[in-house]
Structure 1
């Protein structure tokens, strides 16, 4: 995915608008994944009245911090320990709540930076964020310029040939509806029969949506009406006005928008990998350099002590939490040639 170079909105406008970027996300986290049959769909609990999330967009983030774990820090490769800092490749490309710029237009903030901070703390290292483009991120990690990449990177089998991974979030798609609407759950194809659904053209979620529609039609259920819009903000205007019943898009931006605006809510999620495999977001390191395991150990430390949960809650992504970090788990399948 190319760097998007989006400028942050004025702080006064952010609570209502920062979540309006869902179309820009999917290719970054593993485009071309196999489409799903809905077997991994997970319905969100029916929501009560929507609550809004207050986001600090100042450069003084007061991040959640963690204590050094000496036993884990000792496993860090000697070159990194000697340097005393963890160099983290991050895009900062304007996609809240993942990675975007603070009010000073230069400080990278978001859930990716916060998780990286926790890892650096446990490893006893100073965090240095190296802002780069999506394309250069992979080159920087492969060459060793960056120790690790934190940028919504999905584990794939192809990427595992070149990099090592330590997981820290699930890769989710989300069903987003109006906060005051009647829809309370979308977990399987029959739940969308007859609905007006918006989706990004050419995305993995579009493939899943059309597959669900075909299954419904074969079962004699009402077809859906698919709608496409040119701008992300249009999806939310359509939801608010009732012109569509649901929007199907990447969970981070949808969850963030729902939490910040209060205008919408999430009524179901589905693995971004589709089929029966749960896609996973991970920290990416150079293959075989010995850093992935201590990064994973650090993540498991903050998962156990609750710091990890604090960070996800801060950015409205509690529903992307994992129970434990894994090194090089099964990734999205290899693409057929």
Structure 2
């Protein structure tokens, strides 16, 4: 078995184990089959077939606006990051197929545009590289709109962006405000808006004479889960949906949640394309069509993300402020 295959298998086993633990911990799940888990009345499909995936019919008036080269190809090439924890993007029980809410959102967009999804997977930073090179059309993987990214990319929003601070289950730390982070060691993924927010808060704390926050960088969820459980870090800041799953399955605690932009505004998650390539307009219209006709809500509800729904998809709305200096 190749190294890549072993990594995929490890991530899949983690995902299945987490959901199994969640069922047991909640006491309200029937356990399901090897391909499903039922929790609090919601059944999560872990199978590669994804027979319950929400689809939509092609909308000719929107599809006609897709750039001709993509229409001729007949596929929408989508990239994203695969984690170990549901519900955003993770491996199904076949250890190969990527499933989750972000996969379903991309599929819904492609359906309305009359296209088939061709999925690519990459680490976080490499997703941007693939967009830059033109290798892929769309990046759909919990991407936050930021002012800096807007200079290079176009966005069409589809979900609120909330992030969470997860700490070990035996932690006695209490969080009051960003000053509570002073002197702590916090895990984060490089290049994310979570990192930018933590850096800004740290700068403010240091300017006020408080101890410096130490950032520990992780690219794979399994690595920071281990760091949390072993006490090598005081906490981890990442997407709220994954944090809620992981904390529920391990007994860890979510101390607080924020908008991905902090106090500045309610941050939003969006599909990302290259700047001015003609694709973002029809992508936004496809998302809005799905919102207006109910399929969007079905996708989010399928993965327990209904509380992060938006009423309107926007192109390039105000994003996370630029880094100072």
Question: Shared fold by TM > 0.5?
Answer: yes
User: Aligned pairs, how many?
Assistant: 289
Q: Which residue of 1 aligns with 2:266?
A: 278
Aligned-residue offset at 1:69: 1.2
* Structure 2 SS opposite 1:55: strand
| Cα 1:141–1:205 shift into 2, 3 Å | closer
The whole-number CA distance in structure 1 between the counterparts of 2:250 and 2:204 is 28
Equivalent residue runs for 1:248-263 within 5 Å? 249-257=238-246, 261=249
TM-score when scaled to structure 1?
0.67
Find the counterpart in structure 2 of residue 326 from structure 1.
314
Change (3 A) 1:19 1:73: farther
Query: Could you report, residue by residue, the CA deviation over 1:210-238 in whole angstroms, capped at 9, with x for unpaired residues?
Result: 89999xxxxxxxxxxxxx9x852575799
Please tell me whether the aligned partners of residues 155 and 279 of structure 1 are also in contact (alpha carbons under 8 angstroms): yes
Matched, 1:85 2:58: no
Task: Say whether the 8 Å CA contact 1:86–1:125 is kept in structure 2.
Answer: yes
1:232 aligns with 2:221: no
Give the whole-Å Cα distance in 2 for the aligned partners of 1:143 and 1:57.
32
1:57–1:212 distance in 2 versus 1, CA, 3 Å: farther
Matched, 1:269 2:262: no
TM-score w.r.t. structure 2 length?
Answer: 0.70
For structure 1, the residue ranges without an aligned partner over 5 or more in a row are 21-48, 180-185, 215-227, 239-243
Aligned to 1:115: 105
Classify 1:233/1:133 alpha carbon distance in 2 versus 1 (closer, same or farther; 3 Å): closer
Alignment partners' CA distance in 1, 2:150 and 2:311: 22
Relative to structure 1, the CA distance from residue 296 to residue 151 in structure 2 (aligned partners, 3 Å threshold; closer, same or farther) is same
- Of the structure 1 ranges 134-143 and 49-58, higher mean CA displacement relative to structure 2 is found in 49-58
2:285 is equivalent to residue 297 of structure 1: yes
Determine if contact 1:86/1:126 at 8 Å carries over to the other structure. Answer: yes
Partners of 2:167 and 2:228 within 8 A in 1: no
- Secondary structure of the residue aligned to 1:72 is helix
Q: Structure 1 stretches (4+) deviating beyond 4 angstroms?
A: 8-13, 175-179, 201-214, 233-238, 246-249, 262-268
CA distance in 2, matches of 1:165, 1:141: 13
2:137 aligned residue (136, 143, 147): 147
- Is this contact kept in 2: 1:142–1:287, CA < 8 A? no
Secondary structure of residue in 2 paired with 1:200? strand
User: For residues 45-96 of structure 1, what are the alpha-carbon distances to aligned partners after superposition, in whole Å with 9 as ceiling and x for unaligned?
Assistant: xxxx886354322211121111211111111111111211111122334453
1:187-232 CA distance string (max 9 Å, x none): x759x99xxx995379567668889999xxxxxxxxxxxxx9x852
SS of aligned partner of 1:232: helix
- Following superposition, the deviation at residue 329 of structure 1 comes to 0.9
Which position in structure 2 is the counterpart of 1:64?
Answer: 54
Structure 2 residue runs without a partner (length 5+): 29-38, 170-174, 207-215, 217-222
| Partner in structure 2 of residue 7 of structure 1 | 8
Q: Does residue 173 of the first structure (1) align with residue 177 of the second (2)?
A: no
SS at match of 2:290: helix
Structure 1 contact 96–253 (Cα < 8 Å) conserved: yes
Alpha-carbon separation, structure 2, partners of 1:282 and 1:19? 30
Aligned partners of 2:126, 2:227: CA distance in 1, in Å? Answer: 31
